[in-house]
Amino acid sequence: MLKSIKKTLLGAALVAGVSAPHAFAETTLNALFMAQAAYSEADVRAMTDAFTKANPDIKVNLEFVPYEGLHDKTVLAQGSGSGYDVVLFDVIWPAEYAANNVLVDVSSRITDEMKKGVLPGAWTTVDYDGKSYGMPWILDTKYLFYNKEILEKAGISAPPKTWAELNEQAKIIKDKGLLATPIAWSWSQAEAAICDYTTLVSAYGGEFLKDGKPAFAEGGGLDALTYMVDSYKSGLTNPNSKEFLEEDVRNVFQNGEAAFALNWTYMYNMANSEADSKVAGKVGVVPAPGVEGKSEVSAVNGSMGLGITTTSKSPDEAWKYIVHMTSQETQNAYAKLSLPIWASSYEDAAVTAGQEELIAAAKLGLAAMYPRPTTPKYQELSTALQQAIQEALLDQATPEDALKSAADNSGL
């Protein structure tokens, strides 16, 4: 009798259009993102709202952390056996994550349409040892931004094409009294400094590893750090660069306090925003320069992907969410802070409008992206290099000695 009453009540509730408790199972996904460069938190929330509206049986809890906390948050949650279903990961982590079983191999989920449609270089973001550990999402490199008005006042007709020319132009700007320290970098003891260093390593034709062993203490690796130290000591570089992260660089640049700055794609439209920037309409962007006789342009691979954790209880729903977030439709709608991974997007007027200069720089920069070392011990290596850069900038060691010490402490 009791069973019969319950059945009748449930039927009545459904007929009345009222959701009975547990009439359908709602899946909850926990997703970890960064609050820093590329897509803004508001963008990610809006993208996610569009997904949950189309998939009302899936709820997505979003968590945002600074980039510097992204790796450790992912690994610690994994160790506890709970936590996130979907995580944002940097191009430098798939080797470590594969070795430690952090992310699911999604090779079988990637369709031919995805393989053909996504720019070939983007797959290096998520691939390791012949397997794919997610979908590329943020396709990014660092560009050289410049203040058109300051260059014009200095009588400089075109931005620098080489790193030596950058110093020459900065000296003209300084000598004319336009700015005391015309160049801003993100050289804080963090991954940001490694990205700037890698850009210069690529310009000088250097290598991080040779036969699995550190090779950065000589050749282009040594030239790159020597350039950083010389620029710092010359007074052309803002002395606070040694504490700056990318957001600090953006703030200095959009306050009109730097003629040149190295930063990610997102700075272009943010520094051009009338609401927040003093240099709106005066922002120029070109690929990071090259070195005469060695390179035309330079670039670091700063791309990121979205992956499913091996502890996720809802991998199918997690993949559905990743497919939405990385889809061409979603990316084209939010192309102002991060350029799409899809090749045909660059022929879409809605994507290119108002950022033709950025896209012209991207065509050269993205094609020249140089990788940071692919090794499961990347975190140890990066930490050692971060320390080396700081020691050299602070004149506690010569660039050569600092890099040799980093090689010894790299775990390789």
Model confidence pLDDT, tens digit, residues 215-233? 999 999 999 999 999 999 9
Residues 241 and 313 in one domain: no
Locate 209 and state its tokens: 């590893």
Asked whether the predicted pLDDT for residue 1 surpasses 50, the reply is no
Locate 320 and state its tokens: 């559905």
Residues 54 and 155 in one domain: no
Domain assignment of residue 212, yes or no: yes
Confidence (pLDDT) at 120: 85
Residues 209 and 246 in one domain: yes
Asked whether the predicted pLDDT for residue 19 surpasses 70, the reply is no
Q: Which of 244-265 are b and which e, b meaning 16 or more Cβ less than 10 Å from the residue's Cβ?
A: bbbbbbbbbbbeebbbbbbbbb
Domain assignment of residue 233, yes or no: yes
Asked whether the predicted pLDDT for residue 14 surpasses 70, the reply is no
Domain assignment of residue 5, yes or no: no
Confidence (pLDDT) at 24: 55
Look at the alpha carbons of 284, 290, 292, 295 in this order and tell me if their dihedral is positive or negative: negative
Residue 210 belongs to what domain range? Answer: 143-300+375-409
3-state secondary structure of 137: strand
Confidence (pLDDT) at 5: 37
Where residue 37 falls among pLDDT bands split at 50, 70, 90?
confident
- What percent of the chain stands above pLDDT 90? 84
CA 271 to chain CA centroid, Å, is 18
Residues 48 and 180 in one domain: no
Residues 283 and 200 in one domain: yes
Q: Which residues contact 124 (CB under 8 A, 6 or more apart)?
A: 91, 301, 303, 371
Domain assignment of residue 32, yes or no: yes
Where residue 378 falls among pLDDT bands split at 50, 70, 90?
very high
Confidence (pLDDT) at 22: 44
Residues 245 and 389 in one domain: yes
Domain assignment of residue 15, yes or no: no
With CA atoms as reference, report the closest residue to 245 among 182, 189, 283, 183. Answer: 189
Confidence (pLDDT) at 4: 41
pTM as predicted:
0.86
Confidence (pLDDT) at 367: 86
Inter-residue contact 49 to 338 (CB < 8 Å): no
Inter-residue contact 225 to 389 (CB < 8 Å): yes
CA distance 91 to 138: 10
Confidence (pLDDT) at 247: 94
Edge-to-edge strand list for the sheet holding 86-90: 58-65, 27-34, 86-90, 304-308, 135-138
Where residue 79 falls among pLDDT bands split at 50, 70, 90?
confident
Asked whether the predicted pLDDT for residue 13 surpasses 80, the reply is no
Residues 38 and 121 in one domain: yes
Residue located via tokens 């080489």: 162
Q: What is the pLDDT of residues 144-153, one digit of tens each?
A: 999 999 999 9
Average pLDDT, the chain: 92
Rg of the Cα trace of the chain?
Answer: 24
Q: What is the pLDDT of residues 320-346, one digit of tens each?
A: 999 999 999 999 999 988 899 999 999
Q: What is the pLDDT of residues 99-150, one digit of tens each?
A: 999 999 999 999 999 999 999 889 989 999 999 999 999 999 999 999 999 9
Confidence (pLDDT) at 25: 58
Q: What is the pLDDT of residues 248-296, one digit of tens each?
A: 999 999 999 999 999 999 999 999 999 999 999 999 999 999 999 999 9
Rounded to an integer, the average pLDDT of 356-360 is 94
- What percent of the chain stands above pLDDT 70? 93
Residues 270 and 384 in one domain: yes
Asked whether the predicted pLDDT for residue 23 surpasses 70, the reply is no
CA distance 171 to 155: 12
Domain assignment of residue 127, yes or no: yes
**Residue 69 zone, left/alpha/beta (φ > 0; ψ -120 to 50; rest):** alpha
Confidence (pLDDT) at 8: 39
Polymer length of the chain: 412
Residues 189 and 168 in one domain: yes
Sort 270 into a burial class: Cβ within 10 Å, 0-12 / 13-18 / 19+: buried
Residues 38 and 168 in one domain: no
Q: What is the pLDDT of residues 179-205, one digit of tens each?
A: 999 999 999 999 999 999 999 999 999
Where residue 374 falls among pLDDT bands split at 50, 70, 90?
confident
For the chain, the domain total comes to 2
**Domain of residue 245, CATH code:** 3.40.190.10
CA 258 to chain CA centroid, Å, is 22
Asked whether the predicted pLDDT for residue 2 surpasses 50, the reply is no
Inter-residue contact 162 to 292 (CB < 8 Å): yes
Residues 132 and 177 in one domain: no
Residue 22 CA: distances (Å) to CA of 14, 19, 377, 383: 12, 8, 46, 49
Where residue 82 falls among pLDDT bands split at 50, 70, 90?
low
Domain assignment of residue 266, yes or no: yes
Beta 58-65 vs 86-90: how paired, if at all? unpaired
Residues 89 and 190 in one domain: no
Confidence (pLDDT) at 105: 98
CA 381 to chain CA centroid, Å, is 19
DSSP 56: T
Confidence (pLDDT) at 18: 42
Beta 297-298 vs 283-289: how paired, if at all? antiparallel
Domain assignment of residue 169, yes or no: yes
Asked whether the predicted pLDDT for residue 353 surpasses 50, the reply is yes
Where residue 81 falls among pLDDT bands split at 50, 70, 90?
low
